[in-house]
Amino acid sequence: MTETEQIIVGLISSAGQSKSLAFEALKKVKTGEYDEARKILEQAKEADLQAHTVQTKLIQAEMSDSGNKPEVGLLMVHAQDHYMTSQLARDLIEELINVFEAKEGK
17 touches 85 (CB < 8 A): no
Distance separating alpha carbons of residues 71 and 18, to the nearest angstrom: 25
52 a catalytic residue = no
Among 7, 78, 85, 96, the one annotated catalytic:
78
Region of residue 32 (left: phi > 0; alpha: psi -120 to 50; beta: else): left
Q: Based on the number of CB atoms within 10 Å of its own CB, is 43 exposed (0-12), middle (13-18) or buried (19 or more)?
A: middle
- Closest among 81, 76, 95, 84 to 37, alpha carbons compared: 95
Residues with a catalytic annotation lie at 78
